[in-house]
Amino acid sequence: MTHITVNGIPLEVENGTTLLEAAQFLGFPIPTLCHMEGLSPYGACRLCVVEVGEGARAKLVSSCTYVAEEGQKVRTSSARVVRARKMVIELLLATCPQSKQIQDLASAHDVRQQRFRQEHEDCILCGRCVRMCEEQMVAKAIGFAGRGESRRIGTPFDRRSEVCRTCGGCMYVCPACELRCTYTEPDKAICGGCANLAPPCIEKEKFDDLMCYMKPCVACEIPRS
Ligand code: FES
């Protein structure tokens, strides 16, 4: 067992417990984005930062990937943590301003504007879709391609994947993809949003038979037959 304190509260956790799990056990809220239960931790977005250590040795770490260490003192909402989180949200807003999930995060953390060059990307490279495809759907149909600014999600060699079962799992977990459903009869849908699917990770022309498995549709709430 490992002994830590979270915001001054002593806690004994199993070896291998992450700081996020420890804080959540005590009920301290930590925002997350790339992290998702059922998928391996990835540590891409840094939204879940917490502060560990004291004095000059105090540092910020991503709580979803950082495993608790004996005697560690963890702060989940120090001024430094709050500042860092707001900065991460600003960067996410600059990258992907249309994401409702990111807008909600900004609102919840009182971020009213962002100071960076505004982009209109439709992917924040959180890797949720890649992990979902590999770990839950056991398909490995998509992955990261390119480096630096040209890093993106795609299929191997940008060809239609032979192993993709068009399950829609990638879109289901995507925090940036607003329109997740490919309802094929727009006149029967209420909002019509699901008829205009533009998933960031899949080129529509390569997957024109893509269907979403979710019931009901998250966009229009219509139970699908
Ligand atoms: S939620 Fe921990 S780094 Fe993204």
Q: What is the distance in A from the centroid of ligand 1 to the CA of 161?
A: 28
Q: Are 4 and 11 in contact (CB under 8 A)?
A: yes
Return the best residue to mutate from 18, 45, 92, 128 for the ligand 1 pocket (most ligand atoms within 8 A of CB): 45
Q: Which atom in ligand 1 lies closest to the alpha carbon of residue 31?
A: 1
Q: What is the pTM (predicted TM-score) of this model?
A: 0.76
Tell whether ligand 1 has an atom less than 6 A from the beta carbon of residue 124.
Answer: no
**216-225 per-position pLDDT tens digit:** 444 445 444 4
**40-99 per-position pLDDT tens digit:** 999 999 999 999 999 888 999 999 999 999 999 999 999 999 999 999 999 998 888 877
Q: What is the distance in A from the centroid of ligand 1 to the CA of 79?
A: 19
Domains of the chain in start order, with CATH, are 2-108 (3.10.20.740), 128-207 (3.30.70)
**18-30 per-position pLDDT tens digit:** 999 999 999 999 9
Q: Are 194 and 181 in contact (CB under 8 A)?
A: yes
What pLDDT is recorded for position 193?
41
User: Higher confidence at residue 72 or residue 147?
Assistant: 72
Amino acid at 163: V
CA–CA separation, 37 vs 43, rounded Å?
13
